[in-house]
Amino acid sequence: MTKIKVEVLDRRQFMLAASATTAALMAGISSANATAEMAAEYIKKLTGGASMMEGKVKIDLPEIAENGNTVPVKVSVDSPMTADNYVKTLHLVSEGNPGPEMASFHFTPASGRANAAARMRLAKTQNVVGIAEMSDGKIYTAKTLVKVTIGGCGG
């Protein structure tokens, strides 16, 4: 009896170890994606490496974009937009397009609201990152995943 029990445990341990290895391998593959790294590098250039906080930024994208040639995107940043507290710039950064830079929107207190809408090309399923630079120097960020059926970057 005891002998069999030990065997069963061994097999379980082996399976656990094997699945852990597979997970580690898969994680390794996805983090090696060049465009996500390019995006991170580009963000570092935009912010000068300053620390970022999650929140305040909202990026509205369709859950599934059938045509990547023209995907509507709406952005908004939670801010009173007064002379001494407003959003200066909102950058849109792509983690899956040939280049990470998409667009930058520059607001002023006269904008009234830090809202903007545009249409973007998306090459494939990816995260779109928003980076908001506030007038007090703080930086907020958020990202939205969008699934793309047909990519829209030529080829």
Partner 1 sequence: MAKARVKAPKKAKAGDIVTIKTLITHKMESGRRKDKKTGKLVPRHIIDKFTAKFNGETFFSADWHGSVSANPYMSFSYKAEKSGEFEFIWHDEKGEETVKKSKMTVA
Candidates 40, 88, 103, 147: give the one binding partner 1 (CB under 8 A).
103
- Name the token pair of 76: 């908004």
Candidates 98, 138, 145, 150: give the one binding partner 1 (CB under 8 A).
98
Q: What are phi and psi of 149, to 5 degrees?
A: -80, -50
Candidates 13, 21, 33, 108: give the one binding partner 1 (CB under 8 A).
108
Give the binding-site size for partner 1 (rule: CB under 8 A): 34
Question: Which of 47-73 are b and which e, b meaning 16 or more Cβ less than 10 Å from the residue's Cβ?
Answer: eeeeebeeebbbbebeeebeebbebeb
Q: Which is nearer to partner 1, 122 or 134 (CB)?
A: 122
* Three-state DSSP state, 127: strand
Q: Which residues contact 45 (CB under 8 A, 6 or more apart)?
A: none
Q: Which is nearer to partner 1, 3 or 85 (CB)?
A: 85
Q: Which is nearer to partner 1, 39 or 52 (CB)?
A: 39
Q: Provide the binding-site residues for partner 1, judged by CB under 8 A.
A: 69-71, 81, 92, 94, 97-99, 101-113, 115-122, 152-155
